Amino acid sequence: MSNPISNRQPAIILVSPQMGENIGATARVMANFGLKDLRIINPRDGWPNDKADTMSAGAFEWGVEAKVFDTLEAGLADLTYVLATTARPRGMEKPVFNAEEGIGALMSRPDVGVGVMFGAEKAGLLNEDVALADGILTYPVDRSFSSLNLAQAVGVFAHSWAARTLEGEAKKEFAGVGDSADREQLVRMFEHFEDELDRAGFFFPAEKRPVMTQNLRNAFIRAQWTNQEVQTFRGAVKALALGRGKARIDRKD
């Protein structure tokens, strides 16, 4: 799509969150990954919340829009497809997605409102909350330490969402750093290097030359040098050969 952030971004729905810090940290990581629709259901400490504001690092000013609802039903009213995050099975017959698959499910419904519910810090979502969802989103947590911080749980989802929607942009920033040497440049460098090594008497005994050459080429090719780096190394080889010069002189015969 031309706009990397769809108009149909998933809503992030925090159900009865307790700590303002976690709401703020949620807003921050939403902004990091380009998400704006935050719905807060029945926050324990009310809203607005100073601690949320501090932890948000400016995410609300950036564009995260927080709406508060008294009930989950009200918060979900305009959504058509909703996932519930949980680390434990609920004995309900719903599809179970990992992050990548869940985002696939959300993106396969581009023309409707979609969202993801996250439960409160202590106990997560109630079964009655999960019952309102179309599917379950779960992460591959270690079973012996499975309780994620609320904002971390949102962060994992938000990153996975951005991996599908912002990825192209992210990589573009890093493009064009180098001017990687092509094989011709590399082969010329190898030949120059090997030629000087020949002159220095490095390849001894002579029948070992092929395998020694191959080992050297393997070692250098992994470095994936730029043209500039190739030129620098060739300069170094030249300087070594000229500067010390003994081998060249010795081998004048």
Return residues touching a copy of itself (CB under 8 A). 25, 28-29, 31-34, 57-59, 62, 88-89, 91-93, 95-96, 98-100, 136, 138-149, 151-152, 155-156, 159, 162-163, 165-167, 169-171, 173-174, 177-178, 180, 224-226, 229
Closest CA to 32 of 8, 1, 63: 63
Q: Give DSSP secondary structure letters for 172-199.
A: HHHTTS--B--HHHHHHHHHHHHHHHHH
Nearer to a copy of itself (CB atom), residue 45 or residue 167: 167
Least distance in Å: CB of 121 to a copy of itself? 11
Nearer to a copy of itself (CB atom), residue 2 or residue 252: 2
User: 206-216 burial, b for 16+ CB within 10 Å, e for fewer?
Assistant: eeeeeeebeeb
Task: State how far the alpha carbon of 214 is from the alpha carbons of 89, 187, 206, 227, in Å.
Answer: 56, 12, 14, 21
Nearer to a copy of itself (CB atom), residue 76 or residue 136: 136
Least distance in Å: CB of 162 to a copy of itself? 4
Least distance in Å: CB of 167 to a copy of itself? 5
Q: Which two tokens stand for residue 71?
A: 């009930």
Closest CA to 153 of 53, 86, 96: 86
Least distance in Å: CB of 90 to a copy of itself? 8
Q: Give the DSSP H/E element, type plus range, for residue 165.
A: helix 150-165
Least distance in Å: CB of 134 to a copy of itself? 10
Nearer to a copy of itself (CB atom), residue 26 or residue 42: 26
Closest CA to 160 of 110, 103, 84: 103
Nearer to a copy of itself (CB atom), residue 11 or residue 25: 25
